[in-house]
Structure 1
Amino acid sequence: MSTTDRTDQRPATGPADGGTPPAAPAAPEARRARTGAAAKAAAAAPVRPPAAVGWAYAMVIVATLAAIASNVFEIAHQVETGVAGAATTGDLALTIAFCALFGFFAEMLRAGRQWGRVLLTIFTALGLVFTGLGLAGLGGRPLVGPLQASLAVASLIPSVVGLVLLFVPSVNAWMAEVRENSRMITQRMRKLVLTCHVAISVGWLGLVTGMFAMSVAGATTGDAEQQAAMYRTMSLLDEIFLGMTSMFALITGIVVGAGTKWGLLRRRWVSVKFWWTMGVMVLGFSVIHQLILKANELVAAGAPTRGGELDSVGWAMAASAFVALASLVAMTTISTYKPWGLTKRGRAAAAHTPRAGAAAGR
């Protein structure tokens, strides 16, 4: 008899003869349950961010603090020169809000939230554009004195460094690994942000509608006092409300897009709305704001209401306000009908997750 035969014929031991009962083979359902639990635990385990994320976070904080300090010096200059008013209060409120928002976005970046990186990227880029315009004397608010200009430059350098670090290969790989589990905001947060977005967007539309009506009234009237009143009111709305509403409409729109199934650049209608909103903001900052300032300067200098430079500025302001109003109405229509289909980026994402892509497409 071979060794194999002897082994096969060895009697099994059990409780009756003092042996240990043989282990029962695990059921397939139990094995699958343990495997699924292990996979879920592995997916839920936090993935340590690369060092570039920490450096980008630090650069964003430094740039934000420098920009806020620059804004504070501007407000202090307004108080010292006696020109502080309601617009100064609006600037202070906006500064505090941006300080809180940038801190929140930076924390979302460190948590691996894709929409946090998107928001930081967009607002860093906007800061670069507006600071560059201010340094060149082309922006809505020129920089006051060498100290404020130095702070603006000090915010530019870490902004560029941080923006580059946000998209180095190690950060891209880390975001790709964690964002599918953490890119979505909760349903309750989505409803809250969407409500804020709709309310702020309606306010923005109302402001632009009112400013268009006032610009037409100022351009057509022959009464110097009425014209001056129209342009002063437009300046007040522009300084206090217009920039704030447009900025927060953009912020909430990005959160709703990047933090939900729609994505920010995955569907053409969302992408078009995003870039169009940016264009309207630039139009308001670099064109309409400048025309309002020029109109009030001409009114203060006693320029004639008709037939002169003030007449040309008034009609240019009315035309710009009409373009902004028509753009906001068009974007509202796009939000209602949600036309077109997926972008190239959206099709690529849907190809990797066909079931999710088909559901989102419906």
Structure 2
Amino acid sequence: MSATDRTDGRRAPHKSGDRRPPTDTVRQASAAAAPVGPPPAVGWAYAMVIVATLAAIASNVFEIAHQVETGVAGAATTGDLVLTIAFCALFGFFAEMLRAGRQWGRVLLTVFTALGLLFTGLGLAQLGGRPLVGPLQASLAVASLVPSVIGLVLLYVPSVNRWMGQVREGNRTISQRMRKAVLTAHVAISVGWLGLVTGMFAMSVSGATTSDAEQQAAVYRIMSMLDEIFLGMTSMFALITGIVVGAGTKWGLLQRRWVAVKFFTTMGVMVLGFSVIHQLILRANELVDQGAPVRGGELDTVGWSMTAAAAIALLSLVFMTAVSTYKPWGPTRRGRRHSPRAAAR
């Protein structure tokens, strides 16, 4: 009996000191941890995104109207109009996903806000893409930049981070049906992007090596049409669908090294196409219209530079295809920190 008494005596304090909290404490903790509505910063970020998007769309509409008035509107103008409508719908959708607590919605808004800042800055500096001409377009660009920066900062204030942390476990992933649909679109668009870049590389080699002025002019005009209508749209939607597939599934956008490498490589190829290849194509067509000599002059240098840039873009896309197939690298430091095992610990 004495041994039993001692055993009971030892166990009693253990039960009274059990780590499991009482039922009321559990209910209070659950209520405290229950997701609440978005903080005010999310609403302000949402408003800033809408204002910046409307200013950017207005700038694009004025540019299209100017092309129509001056008689230079063509296939590229139609492509601009389609992109304007598509991005208006997409940014509205991303903003709604942000208000619903979707992590990939915040990621997409962050990426495209950063790209918008980069491309608008290049346009204002007359360094790449389509330069912003006139005080009206410059004013609209500034009107788009300021709320973009404010909204980007508001997306990552502590209150938003805490709220996203509360709701992300239940809302970060997309449904199985949507995942398959977005993955199918991503694969199809990426294959089309690879095919377009392969064709651009072949045409740039043809333009750089031919001695026929008419053939060279035809090649560079076709390259200009593909660049203005298809390449920008294809690369942009490949990036969008890739981010949704990465950030909205178990892989995560920055939790696996191979996914992160694909993401940054995609952005690098887009910047290369926008700031280098696009400018070289424009310059090549300008020289052709001026009657520059096919060989031995600036047109020769531009043609070979275009070939080298297209080769880099093509090799980058082939590299990303191989990375998607082999998935060669493990989790990043962020991925290890958010792994189920780390969460259990």
Please give the TM-score of this superposition, normalised by the length of structure 2: 0.90
Q: Partner of 1:176 in structure 2?
A: 165
Q: Which of 178, 184, 199 is the aligned partner of 1:189?
A: 178
Q: Partner of 1:66 in structure 2?
A: 55
| Cα-to-partner distance string for 1:115-141 (whole Å, 9 max, x where unaligned) | 000000000000000000000001210
Amino acid of the residue matched to residue 278 of structure 1? M
Q: Which of 110, 130, 133 is the aligned partner of 1:141?
A: 130
Instruction: Note the 1:171-320 alignment, pairs <5 A.
Output: 171-320=160-309
List runs of 5+ in structure 2 lacking aligned partners: 1-22
Amino acid of the residue matched to residue 300 of structure 2? D
Cα distance in 1, alignment partners of residues 69 and 171 from structure 2: 47
Cα distance in 1, alignment partners of residues 153 and 343 from structure 2: 29
Q: Partner of 1:321 in structure 2?
A: 310
* Alpha-carbon contact 2:34-2:166 (below 8 Å) kept: no
Amino acid of the residue matched to residue 352 of structure 1? A
* Alpha-carbon contact 1:280-1:324 (below 8 Å) kept: yes
Q: Partner of 1:86 in structure 2?
A: 75
Cα distance in 1, alignment partners of residues 287 and 312 from structure 2: 24
Q: Which of 147, 153, 162 is the aligned partner of 2:151?
A: 162
Cα distance in 2, alignment partners of residues 121 and 91 from structure 1: 22
* Alpha-carbon contact 2:128-2:276 (below 8 Å) kept: no
Cα distance in 1, alignment partners of residues 342 and 176 from structure 2: 24
3-state SS, counterpart of residue 353 of structure 1: helix
3-state SS, counterpart of residue 185 of structure 1: coil
Cα distance in 2, alignment partners of residues 354 and 265 from structure 1: 21
Shift of 1:353: 2.9
Amino acid of the residue matched to residue 343 of structure 2? T
Cα distance in 2, alignment partners of residues 266 and 329 from structure 1: 22
| Cα-to-partner distance string for 1:292-320 (whole Å, 9 max, x where unaligned) | 00000000000000000000000000010
* Alpha-carbon contact 1:56-1:166 (below 8 Å) kept: yes
Cα distance in 1, alignment partners of residues 344 and 332 from structure 2: 15
Q: Partner of 1:9 in structure 2?
A: none
Amino acid of the residue matched to residue 115 of structure 1? W
Q: Partner of 1:3 in structure 2?
A: none
Shift of 1:354: 5.0
Flag the 1:50–1:234 CA change in 2: closer, same or farther, 3 A: same
Cα distance in 2, alignment partners of residues 66 and 99 from structure 1: 11
Cα distance in 1, alignment partners of residues 71 and 314 from structure 2: 34
| Cα-to-partner distance string for 1:52-98 (whole Å, 9 max, x where unaligned) | 00000000000000000001011111111111001100000000000
Cα distance in 1, alignment partners of residues 32 and 235 from structure 2: 38
Cα distance in 1, alignment partners of residues 37 and 233 from structure 2: 36
Shift of 1:46: 4.9
Cα distance in 2, alignment partners of residues 209 and 42 from structure 1: 56
* Alpha-carbon contact 1:74-1:144 (below 8 Å) kept: no
Instruction: Choose 71-80 or 103-112, whichever is displaced more.
Output: 71-80
Q: Partner of 1:336 in structure 2?
A: 325
Q: Which runs of 4+ in 1 moved over 4 A?
A: 41-46
Amino acid of the residue matched to residue 269 of structure 1? W
Percent identity between the aligned chains?
Answer: 83
Shift of 1:42: 6.0
TM-align CA RMSD: 1.9
Flag the 1:52–1:223 CA change in 2: closer, same or farther, 3 A: same
Amino acid of the residue matched to residue 274 of structure 1? F
| Cα-to-partner distance string for 1:248-267 (whole Å, 9 max, x where unaligned) | 00000000000000000000
Q: Partner of 2:12 in structure 1?
A: none
Flag the 1:263–1:130 CA change in 2: closer, same or farther, 3 A: same
Amino acid of the residue matched to residue 161 of structure 1? I
3-state SS, counterpart of residue 338 of structure 2: helix
* Alpha-carbon contact 1:52-1:171 (below 8 Å) kept: yes
3-state SS, counterpart of residue 261 of structure 1: coil
Q: Partner of 2:101 in structure 1?
A: 112
Please give the TM-score of this superposition, normalised by the length of structure 1: 0.86
Shift of 1:45: 6.0
Shift of 1:144: 2.4
